Amino acid sequence: MASIIAIEGVREPKWSVWACYNSAMKFSLSKRVGIDLGTANCLVYVVGEGIVMEEPTVVAVSLTDSKVLAVGKEAEVMLGRTPGNIKASKPMRDGVIADYVVTEAMMRYFLRKVSATNQFFKPEVMVCVPAGVTQVERRAVLSATMSAGARVAYLIEEPLAAAIGAGIPIAEASGNMILDMGGGASEAAVISLGGVVTFKSVRVAGNKIDESISRYVRKKHNLVIGEITAEKIKVKIGSATNPLKEETLEVTGRDSVTGLPKSVVVTAGDVFEAISDPLGRIINMVKSVLEEVPPELSSDIIDKGIVMSGGTATLRNFDKLLTHETGVPAFVAEDPLRCVVKGTGVALENLELYRRSITTTK
């Protein structure tokens, strides 16, 4: 380094050259991490590496000393099976932080697991948030991200990230509609010229659908089931339209009358009836967005259709139901579960391009 400092014509003191060198090294060695902080699942994207982690948004905490015992898949298997001194829970609810301390610990775990933090270099972290969150909820996410070890924190709205990840050309002067449905919230947005023209959100998505199934099974069969069992029913035999073929699934739970273990057979027709109400609320939200779209953009949307992303988009025949109810073609994006985190990665790699659509703090 002495030879660098002694170059003729360089008059800055040694500390200035070292500062520039350290700054350049810090920039090159700091990782850039995108996190899809979902209600049901968290996905982590590292620039240059791609998607490196996909874990359930579940944390197990010891109630004795408030120590985090497990995160992700290890904690998920504990749901509904913990003793009195351990609590396994989901720190995100309806797409926003419900338990700040646990969410911060979970994010710190994710950053440490992907080797994004160390003693000298902190990462730049971009986190997705629903478009309809309040400023208080935005600040909570930024604060949790910084406390978890980020050098710089960015926020990007989920519909925009989902559209980018789905390969929609959002920068064009043309209307594109995205319907992103995760575990806690569903959002429909119309995007043009790289920004959101209009959007609506409703805090109804995968979790509310699971709860509807649980309530229906309890009401019809006097059987109490857990959220994991309800999700299994949805995935195995759930359909957004009245099933032509009657599928069945045997499920086990606790009899609400006797309190004893009990097994019943649930049909696809039962599930269709159970989930009709939450699906109807999502469709009404989509209709309200379409009603607010400017006429020129409406013609674009009719030509291009509605792109569906998120885990709830994989519900059987949901695209057909949406097309029937709105009169606008709807189709599921390629790899819908990962659209948001992929879009976050693209935005991180092209920060200047998406700068006006991103909230940041340092």
pLDDT digits (tens, 9 = 90+) for 75-129: 888 887 888 889 888 888 877 888 888 888 888 888 888 876 665 778 899 998 8
Q: What does the alpha-carbon distance between residue 318 and residue 283 come to, in Å, rounded to a whole number? A: 10
Q: What does the alpha-carbon distance between residue 98 and residue 36 come to, in Å, rounded to a whole number? A: 16
**Residues 27, 11 contacting (CB under 8 angstroms):** no
The 10s digit of each residue's pLDDT in 263-319 is 999 999 999 999 999 999 999 999 999 999 988 899 999 999 999 999 999 999 999
Same structural domain for residues 152 and 39? yes
1, part of any domain: no
**Residues 256, 222 contacting (CB under 8 angstroms):** yes
Same structural domain for residues 238 and 288? no
Structure confidence at residue 362 (pLDDT): 56
151, part of any domain: yes
Same structural domain for residues 64 and 121? yes
Q: What does the alpha-carbon distance between residue 197 and residue 293 come to, in Å, rounded to a whole number? A: 8
Element containing residue 219 per DSSP (H, E): helix 206-221
Total domains in the fold of the chain: 3
Same structural domain for residues 182 and 315? yes
5, part of any domain: no
352, part of any domain: yes
Structure confidence at residue 126 (pLDDT): 93
Residue labelled with tokens 């989509």:
286
In this model, does residue 188 exceed pLDDT 90?
A: yes
357, part of any domain: yes
In this model, does residue 170 exceed pLDDT 90?
A: no
**Residue 275: both structure tokens together:** 């989930």
**Residue 114: both structure tokens together:** 């992907």
Same structural domain for residues 83 and 148? yes
Structure confidence at residue 341 (pLDDT): 93
Same structural domain for residues 44 and 90? yes
**Residues 223, 215 contacting (CB under 8 angstroms):** no
Q: Which of 122, 94, 96, 97 is nearest to 108 (CA)?
A: 122
Element containing residue 309 per DSSP (H, E): strand 306-309
Q: What does the alpha-carbon distance between residue 319 and residue 31 come to, in Å, rounded to a whole number? A: 38
Give ∠ CA 69-75-78 in degrees, rounded to 5. 105
Same structural domain for residues 317 and 175? yes
Same structural domain for residues 59 and 175? no
Q: In what order do the strands lie in the sheet with 248-255?
A: 223-224, 248-255, 261-267
Task: Write the CATH number for 89.
Answer: 3.30.420.40
- Residue 71: phi, psi to the nearest 5? -135, 145
pTM as predicted: 0.83
Residue 27's pLDDT band (cuts 50, 70, 90): very low
13, part of any domain: no
Q: Are strands 152-157 and 59-62 parallel, antiparallel or unpaired?
A: unpaired
**Residue 56: both structure tokens together:** 């359930």
Q: What does the alpha-carbon distance between residue 347 and residue 354 come to, in Å, rounded to a whole number? A: 6
DSSP character at residue 165: H
In this model, does residue 26 exceed pLDDT 70?
A: no
Same structural domain for residues 66 and 194? no
Residue 12's pLDDT band (cuts 50, 70, 90): very low
Same structural domain for residues 46 and 125? yes
Same structural domain for residues 156 and 255? no
Domain coverage including residue 77: 29-160+341-361
Q: What does the alpha-carbon distance between residue 57 and residue 109 come to, in Å, rounded to a whole number? A: 12
Query: Which residues make beta-bridge pairs with 59?
Result: 71, 89
The 10s digit of each residue's pLDDT in 239-274 is 999 988 889 999 999 999 999 999 999 999 999 999
Same structural domain for residues 174 and 318? yes
Structure confidence at residue 169 (pLDDT): 87
For residue 34, how far is the Cα from the chain centroid?
A: 11
In this model, does residue 9 exceed pLDDT 60?
A: no
Q: What does the alpha-carbon distance between residue 85 and residue 23 come to, in Å, rounded to a whole number? A: 46
First to last CA, the chain: 30
